[in-house]
Amino acid sequence: MRRRDFIALVGAAAVSPIGARAQPARKLPTIGFLVTTTPAAAGPWIAAFEQRLRELDWTKGRSITIEYRWAEGHPERYPEFAAEFVRLKVDVIVTTVPAVPALKQATSVIPIVFALATDPVGGGLVAGLARPGGNVTGLSMQATDLAGKRVELLREVVPRLKRLAVLGNVTIPQVVLEMREVEAASPKLNIQVIPLEIRQADDIAPAFAALKDRAEALYVCAEPLSVMNREQINARALSARLPTMYGIREGVEAGGLISYGTSFADQFRHAADLVDKILRGTKPGDIPVEQPTKFELIVNLTTAKALGLTIPQTLLATADEVIE
């Protein structure tokens, strides 16, 4: 073989498909997603998140990788998953408020985006809404700000409401803040608050047993434990003839009476926008915490009928959705 032919052959091999396959594949940006509930409970929210990512040109498996971890209501697993994300060197972590402290303890470098937070400043997640600082930003639900409004709505449905039970998982500081807001708002309406503190699913039945006939309505704080056990909570509330107030529509879809709050699916969609900004170079500490601008009022007339309640027409007229 002549020398110039040999050189040409070597050059052709260097640009051949075999040579191209030998090049290391470019690592796709990776999102670590710590889901505090179950796949079934969080399915619609995850779908909304992924749909928005696709709209922003981030397609799972093609331009981005998503590593999901499911805590399924076991907060003791948060540190384990947080450490795993650090080992995987993910580019950003998405979660909801209960898992943020464990993630912050595991890393001060990887950006963290929370899709749901009751009171991110009061709960110590960020320094401020306009400039969160550090490696954490996200979206607020304004749950503490809405507590008083929810109590007022319950009073419309139950005009003689005097004793209100509040069910909350007190292992989550932000839930404790919401319970305190309910307690602060209720005396203005001459309503006595009866706290029902739970820490695990096994506490729900004893809480209702201890309540007996001491309340005329039930306020349920939204967090992983109550979301995953909403059907049990609603069944027990219906048996005790207690109208229920939720902060999420999923509680009403599962048989609760009424809910008022932001759409969780919308929150996860907006979380994708924040992830997009971070992946394109914006520091999380420079991204303001977003607050919802739209709140949904959902009413379940089937549950109202079962409780023997008549929902005021004025309230039905302002409802975003009526379930019949």
Q: Is the pLDDT of residue 98 over 60?
A: yes
Task: Determine the pLDDT at residue 143.
Answer: 63
Written out in words, the top-level CATH class of the domain with range 30-140+264-286 is alpha beta
Continuous segment of H or E residues that includes residue 165? strand 163-169
Q: Do 30-140+264-286 and 143-261+295-323 share a fold?
A: yes
Please state the rounded mean pLDDT for residues 108-129: 86
- Calculate helix-pair angle for 230-239, 204-211, nearest 10 degrees: 20
Q: Looking at the domain that runs over 143-261+295-323, which CATH code has it been given?
A: 3.40.50.2300
Domain ranges of the chain: 30-140+264-286, 143-261+295-323
pLDDT in tens, 187-198: 999 999 999 999
Q: Measured between alpha carbons, how far is 259 from 201 in angstroms, rounded to an integer?
A: 22
Q: Which amino acid is at 275?
A: V
Q: Is the pLDDT of residue 183 over 70?
A: yes
pLDDT confidence band for 22 (50 / 70 / 90): very low
pLDDT in tens, 32-42: 999 999 898 88
Mean pLDDT, rounded, of the chain: 89
pLDDT confidence band for 19 (50 / 70 / 90): very low
Please state the rounded mean pLDDT for residues 150-161: 94
Q: Measured between alpha carbons, how far is 240 from 208 in angstroms, rounded to an integer?
A: 8
pLDDT confidence band for 45 (50 / 70 / 90): very high
